[in-house]
């Protein structure tokens, strides 16, 4: 079953959607997509499907926004390190510079510089004192 109708409908509403890989993201979440459709059929409403699609769109926009911003302003090594941190943050709520240093197998000061740069670029946010600072996805 083709899912290209999502892109067609969304791009009619806003041309930006013609260039976003929404279909690819749906393909990656294919099992959840069909489960959601079945749940909506059984429930007699489309609330769950709408929430699912909004989540997919959010993920696509975040992924594309971050890749554009990061590729322009960070080195290749910094990009790789930030990708690892972002993957960790997508599965966990927060990360400290000490945890990130262990995750990346680099010094804590190196990670602090990277996270500070990422925060200035609007890719992460932080809270806490310098010693106990935690970083979160924005």
Sorted by where each begins, the domain ranges of the chain are 4-64, 74-137
> Which pLDDT tens digit goes with each residue over 46-83?
999 989 988 888 887 777 665 554 455 667 788 888 88
Cβ distance 1 to 30 under 8 Å? no
Task: For domain 74-137, give the CATH number.
Answer: 1.10.10.10
* H or E element at residue 104: helix 97-104
What is the reported pTM? 0.48
Read off the pLDDT band of 2 (50, 70, 90).
Answer: very low
Question: What is the predicted pLDDT for the residue at 26?
Answer: 82
Q: What confidence category does residue 103 fall into, taking pLDDT thresholds of 50, 70 and 90?
A: very high
């Amino acid at each position: 079953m083709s899912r290209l109708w999502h892109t067609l409908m969304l791009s009619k509403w806003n041309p930006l959607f013609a260039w976003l890989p929404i279909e690819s993201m749906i393909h990656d979440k294919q099992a959840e997509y069909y489960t959601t459709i079945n749940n909506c059929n059984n429930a007699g409403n489309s609330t769950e499907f709408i929430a699912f699609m909004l989540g997919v769109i959010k993920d696509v926009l975040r992924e594309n926004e971050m890749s554009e911003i990061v590729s322009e302003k960070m080195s290749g090594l910094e990009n790789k390190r930030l990708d690892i941190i972002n993957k960790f943050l997508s599965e966990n709520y927060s990360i400290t510079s000490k945890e990130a240093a262990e995750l990346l197998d680099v010094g804590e000061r190196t990670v602090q510089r990277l996270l500070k740069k990422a925060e200035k670029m609007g890719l992460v946010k932080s809270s806490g004192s310098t010693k106990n600072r935690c970083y979160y996805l924005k």
